[in-house]
Structure formats: C-alpha cells, structure tokens
Chains A and B, each alone.
Chain A
Amino acid sequence: MAANPNVIYMDNNATTRVAPEVVEAMMPYLTEAYGNPSSMHTFGGVVGQAIKEARGKVAALLGADPEEIVFTSCGTESDSTAILSAIRTYPEKRHIITTRVEHPAVKNLCETLETATGHKYRVTKLKVDAEGMLDMQEYEAALTEDTAIVSVMWANNETGVIFPVEEMARMARQRGILFHTDAVQAVGKIPIDLKNLDIDLLSCSGHKLHAPKGVGILYVKRGTLFVPFMVGGHQEHGRRGGTENVASIVALGRACELAMEKMEEENSRVKKLRDRLEESLLTSIPKSMLNGHKTLRLPNTANISFEYVEGEAILLHMNQHGICASSGSACTSGSLEPSHVLRAMGVPFTAAHGSIRFSLSIYNTEEEVDLVIAKMPTIIANLRKLSPFWKG
C-alpha cells in the first residue's frame, strides 16, 4: 500500500513518519551488516560498535550516561520494566503513586497490580484540575514510607500538558522513593537533562520521534537497584535479555541525534504552526474550546473540543480531505465513555465527545495548516446542522 502524497499528517502523538535519514542509517543493518553484536568475530563486532554509538546518541539527547540506557521493544515494555522492577526491589512496600491521566501502559498495569494481587497493592491516582494540572499538595500528602514507586508521565499524550516531574522527582528522592516517568511524548519535543535531575527511571519510545515502531528505551539512573523484566542472555548488561533489535536501535540513535538538531525548530517553527492552527480554529469555530493548560504544554499538541458534534464523525470528514488526527470520543475507542484524560479534567460530555487532537511535527508546513484552517469550519458546521443539540 503506497502512502498517499496528499495526506496531511497531524497525528504525531500516535506515531511519526520515520525520518529519511533514519531509514538510511538503519538500512545496512537490515542487509549486509547482519552479525550478532555479541559475537567474537569482527563481523559481529562492528554491529556491536553500532549499538554502542547509538547508545551514546540516545544518552546525549537525554543528558544521561550511555551505561544508563537500556534498549527495549517499546514504551510499554519500558514502563512495565520500571514499575515491576521497583516493586520487586522493595517487596515490603505496597503503595504506588500515579495519576488519573496516565497512558494505559502505566494506568492498566497499576490497576492490574491492585486487582490481581487481591488489593495487596494500593494505588493512589492523583487528580488533575480543569487544565489538566496536578495538585502538588495532594502529591506530597500521598508520599508515604510504604510507597515503592511514583510513576508520573512527563507530558500527556492527549492534551500535551507537561507535569512538573523535576520537582516531583526531587520530593520523592528526599523520602527515598523511586521516581519513574513515562516520557514517551516528551523526549525529542522538549529539552531533557537527566544528569541534573532526581528521576530514577524514564521510558521513551522510538516511533514517537521519527524512528520505527518496535524499539524503546528505559533509562536507569546509575546506582538504582534494578530487577530485569525480560530475563535471558547477558545483553544490555543483563538488564534486558534477548538479541538486540540492531537496525531499530541504530535508527533510534540517529533519530535522537536528529531530535537534538531539530529541538530548536520544534520549539519555534512547529510551535508557531500549532499556535496559528489553534488560535484560528478557536476563533473561526463557535463553541470550541482548548483542552489542557494554555502554556505548560508540548509545542506540537492542540486538543480542541467542538461542542455538540461527535469526534468520529469529524475525523471521517477530515479523512475525506486527507487530514489525519485523533479524537477522545467514545466512538473512536469502542468504549461507551470518552477519554479518561478529558473526564479526569472534568471536560463536559458535550465537549469531550467532540474533541480532536492535532499533533504536529517538523514535517508539517504552513500550507498544510492553511488547508486544515480552511476545511475545519465547514466540517463542523455541516455536522452541527445534523445535531439535535445545536441551536445555531
């Protein structure tokens, strides 16, 4: 299936285009350089060297030491590894702190830990306010001697809201509690410098920053007690068994290198595009509202609710114009309720069902934003004509 050249891709929090430079960097490891990095011969050794270089590039983007980087298969594996490692390290501690707006990779794992152990584990899910922000007093009060780990996402995938994880990690460290952050949406979009932070564990996913799907990272701060999730060979210094996904690891290294180069652009040009799109839609379309904090937000994400219309219907009309985005409506998820993130924020149902997430990348252009700005008002107006609730 060939990609449609007319696609306007604004769904980059779901996944991203693999950068051409990344494809180029990984290709040799899908063809001639097929050696096993653990082999004794030079043929394998050069592959091992490529992984070492990739590890260095990832570490550079995160402000970490290369030895602190463990390659995994995805963000979800990194999250599971981090949280399960913490509770195995401290089996006597039976409390976990997380938030109500986590990605299912953390949310469902914590819920399973609660239920599958017959409530031996207690999970505190921190509330968020109408702008999606946490109450730091509630957080401080939740930290106890029994807390094994705190797992709080760096940036929210649906709204782009950024949590104060630096400060939260500091508070956890003061009490000797491990701190994990799911930074899948943050890495590559905002600057991160782990060596100066109290974050013990951090998850990242390749395909959110223009590397292919099927590769992720777990950062484990030096000195952090660690129990592996995948037990097997000596790979990754015994922290993750299994022969390395060499091509994807090399790809991720290159993607991190590119992300560092483009960080400035992401936070200036992409942010400007996003701001223009957002302001224009909110002005030209009545009864529309922004979900999430206005400024404490990723530079690429805009989550906008169009009241009295339903998200799936909006997406399918956008699809007619080749515009790709996401929705927090119930119908798109197959459940009866809209997004848990928007519900936790108290977004009214009239708005939650009609929420659309636009997430941009460095590949988006002014022309694309112009087209979306031109098409959206008609799409919403046409659907509102059908809506029994619209008194326009």
Chain B
Amino acid sequence: MWEYTDKVQQHFLSPQNVGEVEDPSGTGDVGSLACGDALRLTLKIDANDIIVDAKFKTFGCASAIASSSVLTEMVKGMPVDEAAKITNEDIAQALGGLPKEKMHCSVMGREALEAAIADYRGLTLPKAEGEVVCECFGVTDIEIIRAIKESNLRSVEEITNFTKAGGGCGKCEDKLRVLLETTVGGKAQIVIPQMPQKKMTALQKIKKIEEVLEREVRPGLRKDGGDIELVDVDGDFVTVALRGTCKSCSKSQTTIKEYVEKKLREFVLPSLIVEENS
C-alpha cells in the first residue's frame, strides 16, 4: 500500500474543480490510457491574462487525481506568466509530497499546464508526429522507423523491446512487420533454410562454423578494427572470443547474440547457442 499524505487523500477523495470549463481559453491533454494515466486540463483566462477558472478530468490513480485537483487550486487567480513557472516539484509539495514512484503524476500535471498555456498563446508544442501504429502505447510510425534504423532492429519482437509498440494487445504486429520490411528491405527476412536430416559430425560442424565466421562475420568486424576467434564447440554451445576493438566494446554481448549467433544459426544449425569466452 502506498503511503499517501493526508493532503493527497483529501484531494483524491474530494477532488476540486472536476470537469471542463465552457469555451476554454486553453486546453492541455497529456498521457494516455496505455500509460495508465491521462489528464485534460481546461483554463479560462481573462483579458488581463489572469487564470479565472481551471477544471480537470483525470484517468489514473489516487496521486494522479490529487495532483490534478491541487493544480487547479494552485493556478486559479494566477497570472498566466506566473502559472507557467509552476514545476512538478511545486505540485508535489502542495500535496505534502508524493511517493517517489508516483512523481510522474506531478509531471503529468505540469505537462498539462504547459500544454494548456501553449494552446492559449497559440503556440504549438513539439508534438509527436506521424501516424499512431501501436494504439496501446501510442507509438507512431516515425518513432518506430527511427528505432529500426538507429538500433538496427530486425524483428517485431525487437521493435517491441525498444519502443513498446506491439507490447499491449498485439493487434499492430502486422503493421509493424510491414514497417520493418519497408524500412530494411529484404534484410528482415531471415529465413532459416531447411537443414539436411543427417546429423553433422563434430568436425564437420566446427569446419562449417569456422567457414561461416570467416565468410559472414569477420569482414564486418574487421571493418571496425575488431576480430573473432572460435574457442570451443560443445554440442550446440559455441564459445567465441572477441578480439581487437570488439573486445572492449560495450555492445559485445549484442554483437555475439544479434550478429554472430544469427549468422551461425542461419548458415550452420538453427539450434546453436553462441557464448563469449570469459
């Protein structure tokens, strides 16, 4: 159970200024259903730039509701310029503090206030552009394409790990696959060829692994000043050692799993597991 202050409980159980002001001068919408909290803040601002009314609607936990409620109390009667200076710490303080896991609730209040003031002033905040692909987490195609390119993603699962897209209901998986294919072209299709039924001997396997390392892996690593050595093959477990710049590279684990293992699985045996010699 969270330890909420009396002030949080009071604002949660009897929230102030619930609703939407009529014909608002500025509206701020932040958060989403996916994140578990969302806030719509509406402000009425008079000719002298004074906030004369403020109302909120919030979907979220007790601290989200309390943060919204106390925020409307704080800004009422305040000049817009002064309200624009309110920080999330101010909101949390007005509630007598929030559990640290709940600070994002006060951030949401500040963001909604910023958005509502920007709306009033006719400014556009740098909003997420593009078309929303994953509705659960509100991830756009532009964000996904950027992640695919920047992080060199090659599967829908990887996209989910990096962007959360597809991690909810999973209904956008097909869209993600299309995005992946159009972004990286044919490279996304890692087709594991049917392996011959006959089992390879240990020697054949080692030879084949060495061959694939030489042909498929080394050229790429050498380009970056690195290299790779085959240390041992024990059943499906392949032990390798990274050399040169690869050795000290912080991404060595990714190199092994995402690059070396994939190549060996593709060209030698789909059951291989590659590990770094430690």
Which residue numbers of A lie inside 8 Å of B, CB to CB?
118-120, 308-313, 316-317, 320, 329-332, 334, 336-338, 343, 346, 348-350, 353, 385-390
Q: With the chains together, A336 CA to B15 CA distance in Å?
A: 24
Known contacts being A349-B169, A386-B57, is A331 close to B36, with CB within 8 Å?
yes
Q: How far is the CA of A338 from the CA of B37 in the complex (A)?
A: 12
A1 to chain B, nearest CB (A): 13
For A121, the closest partner residue in chain B by CB is B273
Interface positions of B from 50 to 65, Cβ below 8 Å from A: 56-62, 64-65
Residue among A310, A316, A317, A387 making CB contact with B36, cutoff 8 Å:
A310
Q: Is the CB of A386 within 8 A of B169?
A: no
List CB contacts (< 8 Å) of B10-53 with chain A.
Answer: 12-13, 15, 18, 29, 33-40
Note all chain A residues with C-beta closer than 8 A to B34. 349
List, in ascending order, chain A residues with CB within 8 A of B62's CB: 312-313, 316
Given A120-B273, A312-B61: 17 more A-B contacts, CB < 8 Å:
A118-B275, A120-B237, A308-B59, A310-B37, A310-B61, A313-B61, A329-B61, A330-B35, A337-B167, A349-B33, A349-B169, A350-B33, A386-B18, A386-B56, A386-B58, A388-B57, A389-B59
26 contacts between A and B (CB under 8 A): A118-B275, A120-B237, A310-B59, A312-B2, A313-B61, A313-B65, A320-B13, A330-B35, A331-B60, A336-B35, A336-B36, A343-B168, A348-B136, A348-B169, A349-B34, A349-B136, A349-B168, A353-B36, A386-B18, A386-B56, A386-B57, A387-B57, A387-B58, A387-B59, A388-B39, A389-B33
How many Å from the CB of B221 to the closest CB on chain A? 20
Q: How far is the CB of A282 from chain B (nearest CB, A)?
A: 21
B150 within 8 A of A: no
**Residues of B in contact with A (beta carbons under 8 Å apart):** 2, 12-13, 15, 18, 29, 33-40, 56-62, 64-65, 101, 136, 167-170, 237, 273, 275
Q: B37 contacts which chain A residues (CB < 8 A)?
A: 310, 331
CA A338 – CA B33 in complex, angstroms? 11
Chain B residues contacting A346 (CB-CB under 8 Å) are: 169-170
On whether the beta carbons of B65 and A386 are closer than 8 Å, the reply is yes
Interface of A is mostly: loop
Find out whether the CB atom of A385 lies under 8 angstroms from the CB atom of B18.
yes
Write out the residue numbers on chain B whose beta carbons fall within 8 Å of the beta carbon of A118.
275
Contact A338 B237 (CB under 8 A): no
Residues of B within 8 Å of A119, CB to CB, are: 273, 275
By beta carbon, the residue of chain B nearest A122 is: B273
Enumerate chain A residues within 8 angstroms of B65, measured Cβ to Cβ: 313, 386
The CA-CA distance from A349 to B36 in the complex, in Å, is: 8
CB distance from B169 to the nearest CB of A (A): 5
Contact A388 B59 (CB under 8 A): yes
CA distance A320 to B56 in the complex (A): 23
- Chain B residue numbers with a CB within 8 Å of A330 are 35-36
Q: Which residues of the partner chain A approach B61 to less than 8 Å between Cβ atoms? A: 310-313, 329, 331-332
- Give the CA-CA distance A389 to B40 in the complex, in Å: 10
Determine the chain A residues whose CB is within 8 A of the CB of B33 once the complex forms.
Answer: 308, 349-350, 353, 389
| Shortest Cβ distance from residue B276 to the other chain A in the assembled complex, whole angstroms | 8
Q: State the CA gap A336–B18 with chains docked (Å).
A: 25
Q: Hey, which chain B residues are within 8 Å of A320, CB to CB?
A: 13
Tell me the nearest residue of chain A to B19, going by C-beta: A385
Given the complex of chains A and B, what is the CA–CA distance between A353 and B65 in angstroms?
15
A309 to B64, CA, bound (A): 12
Do B38 and A388 touch across chains, with their CB atoms under 8 A apart? yes
Would you give the shortest CB distance from B123 to chain A, in whole angstroms? 22
Q: Within 8 Å CB of B40, what residues of A? A: 388
Q: Which residues of A contact B136 (CB under 8 A)?
A: 348-349
Docked-complex contact A338 and B36, CB < 8 angstroms: yes
